[in-house]
Chain A
Amino acid sequence: MTFEQRLTRLEKIAAELESDDVELARALALFEEGIENLRGAAEELAKADARVQRLVERANGTFDTVEPRE
């Protein structure tokens, strides 16, 4: 799952947990899933890395992204 997907899921989980009519078993499952997503998202965040590339169009009309010459 991407960071974005995890965040979106976490928002849904929090909202459902906050709702009035959640069942016990459901709440437990949600909380567990939430913890799992929090951990995953935090890991993704730790790996964050900005890359800079350059778009190159080949003669045959295909594209490549290459590291720019610094």
Chain B
Amino acid sequence: MTGRRGPRDSGNADLDLFDSGGPAPKRRVASSPPPPPPDEDFDPSSYPGETAQTAVTVSILTQTARDVIEGAFIPLWVRGEVSDFKSHRNGHWYFSLRDRTAQIKCVVWNRDQRMIPAPPDDGMQVAAFGRLTVYPARGEIQFAATKLEAEGDGLRRKALEVTRARLEKDGLLSLDRKRPLPRFPRVIAVITSPDGAALHDIVAVVRRRGCDVRLVIVPAAVQGESAPGELRAALDRVERWGGADLVIIARGGGAREDLWAFNNERVARALAACSVPTISAVGHEVDISICDLVADYRAPTPSAAAEAATRSASELRNELRKLSMRMSGATRAFVRATDNRLRHLARDVADSSADQIARRQTRLRAIAGRLHALSPLATLSRGYAVARDTTGATLSSTAAFREEMLFDLIVRDGVVPAQVRRPSEPTDTP
């Protein structure tokens, strides 16, 4: 690299040590010590500070030192151990980086902290990216860092722990908060990148399964600096729209830092505040994000999210088949029980010939076999006789029949007037 930096714009030309006529000396960016480059028109005999009379001020000295140092070093990574970390009231972070034999003061300005997951702890081995400068007020060399990475991804781990603890404290990770997913969502809002793999996978699953559902894409960047803001905005839009009955927030697999937006506390809080149930599907199976912990359901992948959210047509057909079988089974059992009752009753009922009863029973059995193919009302009414008292109330228990009582036996084609010969005992059959 041979890039050059101009002298720092101090806003005060008087402070420039070299402003004694002629252009400022050109400086070379180098890893070797910056040589004082004598230009042709540089007159050493008249440089400030040459004599006590031309002594420069401390300010000029430190400003100049800053200019020289800043011009000499391009931004670079430095590694060392963090010590004396302080987060100042003014929002800036101060600490030292050191190794066995040396140390340097470091600062991370407030505005540069946004891309750093968490403040470092004392004792952490970190690599800091930044540029070397001089802090004139103290005359100290200072390293102004804009990126920090800790050994073993320590800062991200720390940030995760901190965020997790804060959400936990507010009860947002509690299992009691988890809402069941709607059985049949009609409209699913899908918050993801409109051209990402996640959306593609979700749409493919829903189409393959023949689900009766509307997927409404709510586009948001899912990685990069703008991702947390866009994800929150998308959640907010879904909320104000109010048209979805389930929300899927998804992103396909990627590098760990690409999934970072889903560990953002404010994104997690927005997700937790969703008024409809939520599914989070971020990255691959092994990646667990804060959003995963907050969502009502965590799907290992976007495809799995789609599968959890919807039910396939074949699954539903199966369910209908099962219900149909349950109904016909129950009705068949009912017919059997009634048939039994009928037989017992027949012995005690006047005006019903044994022949008639037998015919009716035969029919009842035939009907029972055909139950699920036929409409039950028609079927049963062909074989059943319903007993009613003279007011029209159904007589469904032996207790309802009194000695000598008159009642009506209603069969398919009419009413048979009947009378109880003697009271009967209930049978074991239910």
Contact = CB atoms under 8 A, between A and B. Distances in A.
Contact of A18 (B207, B216, B326, B396): B326
A17 B334 contact: yes
Tell me whether chain A's interface is mostly helix, strand or loop, or mixed. Answer: helix
8 contacts: A3-B316, A17-B330, A24-B334, A31-B380, A32-B375, A45-B212, A45-B313, A50-B211
A55 interface: yes
Q: How large is the interface on B (under 10, 10 to 19, 20 to 34, 35 or more residues)?
A: 35 or more
A27 B331 contact: yes
A36 to B, nearest CB: 9
Nearest to A50: B206
Q: How large is the interface on A (under 10, 10 to 19, 20 to 34, 35 or more residues)?
A: 35 or more
Nearest to B184: A4
B380 A55 contact: no
Nearest to A57: B237
A21 B240 CA distance: 49
Contacts of A65: 214, 216, 243
Contacts of A32: 375-377
Contacts of B73: none
Nearest to B376: A31
Given A14-B323, A31-B377, A55 B237 contact: yes
Contact of B396 (A13, A23, A38): A23
A63 B384 contact: no
Contacts of A61: 240
Contacts of B3: none
A63 B236 CA distance: 12
Contact of A14 (B184, B327, B381): B327
Contacts of B304: none
Contact of A35 (B326, B376, B380): B376
B320 interface: yes
Contacts of A55: 189, 216-218, 237-238, 241
Given A27-B334, A55-B216, 12 more contacts: A3-B212, A7-B184, A7-B316, A35-B375, A38-B327, A45-B320, A50-B207, A50-B213, A53-B215, A53-B216, A55-B238, A63-B243
A11 B386 CA distance: 27
B91 to A, nearest CB: 34
Contacts of B376: 28, 31-32, 35
A29 B334 CA distance: 13
Contact of A52 (B203, B320, B327, B334): B203
B219 interface: yes
Interface string B163-183: 000000000000000000001
Interface of A: 2-4, 7, 10-11, 13-14, 17-18, 20-25, 27-29, 31-32, 34-35, 38, 41-42, 44-45, 47-55, 57, 61, 63, 65, 68
B210 interface: yes
B334 A44 contact: no
A49 B213 CA distance: 7
A55 B216 CA distance: 6
B331 A17 contact: yes
A7 B215 contact: no
A38 B323 contact: yes
Interface in B207-255: 207, 210-219, 237-238, 240-241, 243
Nearest to A6: B320
B216 A17 contact: no
- Closest 10 CB pairs between A and B? A17-B330, A48-B212, A31-B376, A14-B326, A4-B184, A63-B241, A18-B330, A10-B323, A50-B206, A54-B217
Contacts of B300: none
Given A14-B326, A25-B394, A63-B243, A20 B214 contact: no
Interface string B381-404: 100101000000010100000000
Contacts of A31: 327, 331, 376-377, 380
Contacts of A52: 203, 214-215, 217
Contact of A42 (B194, B243, B320, B334): B320
